[in-house]
């Protein structure tokens, strides 16, 4: 087992990464101070992993809350139904909520934990690659609003994150690839040697080689923990670098209709677009753009803009992305593999023309 730390002073917490950690009694129990535990999961994940998790909690008094599966249930209505159940069970302020699932379960449960009786202890047990390397670390919690994704939420850090990579064996391969987009992102924004390692080892990850997966999760969480420790509330531009590919990606996701492209698929394509635009600005070599496209494509992620989405629509959607500040569109772009910058200083006509060129080439 590998243990990392998210360094946030009195709110610091460990990330445990390894195989079969769900079965290790004591690991979670050490982070539970109250008497009652509420495990929140969904109808897909609970039948696979709930019993194993409850068995490891042995003598503790644990209850389950099972949500419907899907991003469309990441709403305030679901949060309200969690509050109803917690109150019906007469849960006091000393409960610990454990999120067992992917990013959707984690975001919902974390937000419920942040709000219930003004905040109760919370533990993340992520079961998708995306949630293991990204959403479970860093304390962003929340739900969607009809007018925007993740628009209602709170920064609320967990007591610990337990990453059992064995849970990935049941994950559909398309979801594994979606998680790989975020893994590649860490190499691109801050870790060139890790990017180089991924070039040589991505096939091992796709074949579920547990050593390769454990290393990739560790390197990703190290990068995320370091970024979060330096900019917990996304105030100084550092945490915003985690959004490489996301402005283009969100436009693709929304433009294609939620659910048609997975978030990670859109981010993978978005990172390739960011690399191509960085090359147009003279920041990145064509050789590096090819390396990035090749790695994203080997991860079984799309690298070309969808033909159905017009460039005008895409630009319109990018303009309403959260990364617009003071009326200006900010993009995360690449100066090099391993070096990202957040900037609003680029020629908008060049961006439009680049997107058009990429669209015509699909
Ligand atoms: P998800 O939670 O929707 O899970 C994807 C699918 O895989 C679901 O059907 C789920 O039930 C299933 N699943 C999960 N684990 C499984 C397993 N081990 N075996 C079989 N099936 C399994 O998707 P996700 O990609 O994990 O997370 C996406 C969500 O995360 C979005 O809501 C996004 O907004 C959020 N997110 C949050 C942050 C953050 O910092 N908080 C960061 C990135 C994404
Ligand atoms: N997933 C982006 C962040 O945590 O800031």
Of ligand 2's atoms, which has the minimum distance to the CA of residue 224?
Answer: 4
What pLDDT was estimated at residue 87?
98
| Residue 23 near residue 52 (C-beta atoms within 8 A) | yes
Judge contact between 78 and 99, C-beta under 8 A: no
Structure-block tokens of residue 202: 């991505």
Whether 263 is catalytic is: yes
Concerning whether 191 is annotated as a catalytic residue, the answer is no
Ligand nearest to the CA of 144: 1
pLDDT at 295: 98
Q: Is the pLDDT of residue 148 over 90?
A: no
**Ligand positioned closest to the Cα atom of 173:** 1
User: Ligand 2 pocket, 140 CB below 6 A?
Assistant: yes
Give residues (CB < 6 A) around ligand 1.
42, 44-45, 48, 69, 71, 74, 101-105, 107, 127-128, 130-131, 134-135, 138, 140, 150, 167, 170-171, 175, 178, 263
**pLDDT value for 74:** 96
Calpha distance 346→219 (Å, rounded): 31
Q: Ligand 2: does its nearest atom lie under 6 Å from the Cβ of 239?
A: yes
Catalytic residue at 2? Answer: no
* C-alpha count within 13 angstroms, C-beta hemisphere, residue 163: 30
Question: What's the mean pLDDT in 262-284?
Answer: 97
Q: What is the pLDDT of residue 325?
A: 67
Query: Quick one: pLDDT at residue 319?
Result: 86
Tell me: the pLDDT tens digits for 33-57? 988 999 999 999 999 999 999 999 9
pLDDT in tens, 73-109: 999 999 999 999 999 999 999 999 999 999 999 999 9
Nearest to 361 by CA among 311, 317, 313: 311
Of 31, 185, 191, 263, which is the active-site residue?
263
Q: Domains of the chain (ranges plus CATH)?
A: 2-169 (3.40.50.1970), 173-360 (1.20.1090.10)
* Cβ(210)–Cβ(19) below 8 Å: yes
Instruction: Verify whether ligand 2 is closer than 6 Å to residue 232 (CB atom).
Output: no
What mean pLDDT, rounded, does the chain reach?
A: 95
**Over the range 141-153, which residues count as b (16 or more CB within 10 Å of their CB) and which as e?**
bbbbeeeebeeeb
Query: Scanning the structure block, which residue is given the tokens 């990935």?
Result: 168
Identify the band that residue 322 occupies on the pLDDT scale cut at 50, 70 and 90.
Answer: low
Nearest listed ligand to the Cα of residue 240: 2
Give the span between the Cα atoms of 170 and 256, in whole angstroms. Answer: 27
């Amino acid at each position: 087992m590998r243990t990392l730390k998210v360094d946030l002073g009195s709110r610091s917490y460990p990330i445990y990464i390894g195989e079969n950690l769900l079965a290790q009694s004591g690991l979670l129990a050490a982070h539970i101070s109250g008497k009652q535990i509420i495990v929140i999961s969904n109808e897909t994940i609970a039948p696979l992993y709930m019993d194993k998790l409850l068995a490891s909690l042995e003598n503790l008094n644990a209850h389950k809350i099972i949500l419907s599966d899907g991003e469309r249930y990441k709403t305030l209505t679901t949060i309200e139904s969690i509050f109803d159940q917690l109150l019906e069970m007469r849960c006091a302020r000393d409960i610990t909520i454990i999120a067992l699932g992917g990013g959707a379960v984690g975001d919902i449960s974390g937000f419920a934990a942040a709000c219930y009786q003004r905040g109760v202890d919370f533990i993340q047990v992520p079961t998708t690659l995306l949630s293991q390397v990204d959403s479970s670390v860093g304390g962003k919690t929340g739900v969607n609003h009809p007018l925007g994704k993740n628009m209602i939420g709170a920064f609320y850090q967990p007591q610990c994150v337990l990453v059992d990579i064995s849970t990935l064996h049941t994950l559909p391969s398309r979801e594994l690839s979606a998680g790989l987009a975020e893994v590649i992102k860490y190499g691109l924004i801050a870790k060139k040697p890790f990017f180089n390692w991924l070039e040589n080892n991505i096939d091992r990850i796709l074949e579920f080689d547990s050593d390769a997966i454990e290393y990739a999760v560790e390197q990703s969480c190290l990068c995320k923990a370091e970024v979060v420790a330096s900019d917990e509330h996304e105030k100084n531009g550092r945490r915003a670098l985690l959004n490489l590919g996301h402005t283009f990606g969100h436009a693709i996701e929304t433009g294609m209709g939620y659910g048609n492209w997975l978030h990670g698929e859109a981010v993978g394509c978005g990172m390739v677009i960011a690399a191509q635009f960085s090359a147009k600005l003279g920041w990145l070599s064509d050789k590096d753009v090819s390396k990035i496209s090749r790695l994203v494509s080997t991860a079984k992620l799309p690298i070309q803009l969808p033909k159905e989405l017009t460039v005008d629509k895409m630009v319109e959607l990018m303009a309403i992305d959260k990364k617009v500040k003071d009326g200006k569109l900010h993009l995360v772009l690449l100066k090099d593999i391993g070096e990202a910058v957040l900037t609003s200083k680029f020629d908008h006509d060049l961006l439009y023309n680049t997107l058009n060129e990429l669209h015509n080439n699909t």
